[in-house]
Amino acid sequence: MENTIYQLIEQLSKELHRHNHLYYVENSPEISDFEFDQLMKQLQELETKHPEMVLDSSPTKRVGGDITKKFKTIAHKYPMLSLSNTYSRGEIVEWENRIKKSIEHKIEYVCELKYDGVAIGIAYKNGKLHSAVTRGDGTVGEEVTANVKTIKTIPLILKNGYPVDFEIRGEIFYPTAEFERVNHERKLNDEQLYANPRNLASGTLKLQDSKLVAERGLDCFLYGVYGDNLQFKSHIDSVLGAKEWGFKVPSIADNYIRKTDSIDGIMEFIAYWDEQRKTLPFEIDGIVIKVNEYDAQSELGFTAKSPRWAIAYKFKAERVETVLESVDFQVGRTGAVTPVANLTPVQLGGTTVKRASIHNADQIEKLDLHYNDHVYIEKGGEIIPKIVDINLSFRSNNSKKVEFISHCPECHSELMQKEGEVQHFCPNEKECPPQLKGKIEHFIGRKAMNIDGLGSETVEVLYRTGLVKSIADLYQLTFDQLINLDRMAEKSANNLLKGLKESLNVPFEKVLFAIGIRFVGETVAKKLAKHFGSIDAIATASYEELVAVDEIGEKIAISLKNYFSDKQNIELIFNLKKIGLQFEAIKTESFSSTFTGMSFVVSGVFKAFAREELKELIEENGGKNVSAISVKTTYLVAGENMGPSKLDKATKLGVKVISEDEFIQLLSS
């Protein structure tokens, strides 16, 4: 029973991490905010009932969003936590009831718009803009100061009355009119249109050329003031004060922000903007409710992930009706077959929708889809359209039911469905064209081998011309072969060959991720590389040795055993070794043996170090990091906002709890 629960926690964690990555890094979410929150709630309930099984990397402790390598990273002085989401009056009432257990006097709330943009923290020193940092993972963000300085609504120099050293936070967004102008220009130039303003704002803020950022017309509302010894007693006072310093803040006159002391007042504000949000010159996806008084906020404190004194009400996704014309079946690099609906074009969320995801065969069956059905579609996270229901009143008696295919649409192999999985797969991974091309595209990707000069279009040409059928073939390419390809100039050919040569220096953990073993993502590849040290050690490891590695479960272990039992895979590894790819981890000596024989659980937010830095110090000095507290745990290193369950378990088991300062002293000794 316990093993089953742990596997479910592991599975939910992995899925939530994937959706976090899709939303924050790839800007291409697959599910709606509501569906994400339901998965998160399920995981939280399991962790509450089984605190001993909580993974150290649990998404319940993570704000979401990864760091790219384009900009310098900076640790937030004040962590940028996310907000808990709610979708009903009842959940807001429950939130208020929890607050009333701690706060005895009358509570004031501030309601404000939840802007659909990019969170930013801007530091000012002596009245001048000092630095601007994105949310990142909530603890560490990316410095985008040069780009933020181009946004005309963000002051470079403040007016009188400001603190000497403080930070102000808000949301950078794309005005709807500017978004439509940019997309109109791209349409005239026959370029792919941007999906929505939030994507464009996020992408613009990460551009390397600040001149291009200045041309894009970004805007910003700032509304959260942070600092030591500020003169304000409440949130609303700080917003009004920031306006006096020269910031563009939410306007009381425009009803963008409102103070109230009742649930009825909160719901009136929500109802008004649920109806009127289409009239705004920018996009919002909900309402944020905060306890107004700073003293009350301080008393309520934080959970590991979010403040207890604030909550977000999320609007339901917009829904429209259209007609299902046909269904395509697409094959991915793992062989997974996904049905995609072709629709009569319809406007949804400001864009024209022609296609929508149906996910899998179970979804087709659940919806009982028929061709020419009138279907309702929504945008998951208001980006990716999907079919959610059918208007049966329009279905004709002779309409044909949508049937899931039995054979691969590309190579015609019979599809299979593994026990316990909803997805159908094409088993012909060695010859099925989209699988072969998909594996190559995965291999060359930024988070894998990161080969410059090689993209999906070039992979398509190389495959079509027969030059490349596997990842090993990439390294046999010559200049003469490349220069004869369509749209391949001399410079492009040389850049591609240079990128391939440089990829020989990519470290083992990335190579292991790049070769595309099923279920071996970035994190798993890193753990395997660190634990075993080489591809040979992983290939010859027993099932028991594999599952003994931290966070390597049964599914991953079986996938690894299957991969290395295939002669063609072994031959591929052999060829890649001969080419010169890195299949051994670079060995690093421990700084000391200070922590030899000790095991640590690291939890919470720290001041001097990021959590991963602490873990690295532990391992570099001979110690071991573990995800769950047990009688064998030597120390619990406790930071701010650590969940109470870990502390309770450590106390019960007699595990010593130390602070960050005590850890540093221990290391020094």
Active-site positions read 114
Q: DSSP secondary structure string, 334-352? A: T-EEEEEEEEEEEEETTEE
**Alpha-carbon gap, residue 542 to 359, rounded angstroms:** 35
Beta pairing partners, 328: 340
- Give the number of other Cβ atoms within 10 Å of residue 589's Cβ: 6
DSSP character string of 586-616 = PP---S-STTTT-EEEEESB-SSS-HHHHHH
CA distances 329 to 86, 336, 430, Å, are 35, 10, 19
How far, in Å, are 108, 170, 257, 290 from residue 266 at the CA level? Answer: 11, 21, 11, 10
Rg (CA), the chain: 27
User: What is the spatial distance between Cα 311 and Cα 291, in angstroms, rounded to a whole number?
Assistant: 9
Of the candidates 127, 192, 112, the residue with the CA atom closest to the CA atom of residue 157: 127
Q: If we measure between CA atoms, which residue out of 72, 91, 151 comes closest to residue 118?
A: 151
Residue 81, helix vs strand vs coil: coil
Task: Compute the distance between CA of residue 583 and CA of residue 509 in angstroms, rounded to an integer.
Answer: 8
Partnered with residue 110 across adjacent β-strands are 259, 290
Q: Is 201 exposed, middle or buried (0-12, 13-18, 19+ CB in 10 A)?
A: buried
Q: Specify the pairing of strand 656-658 against strand 635-638.
A: parallel
Cα–Cα dist 515/439, whole Å: 8
Q: Are 430 and 324 in contact (CB under 8 A)?
A: no
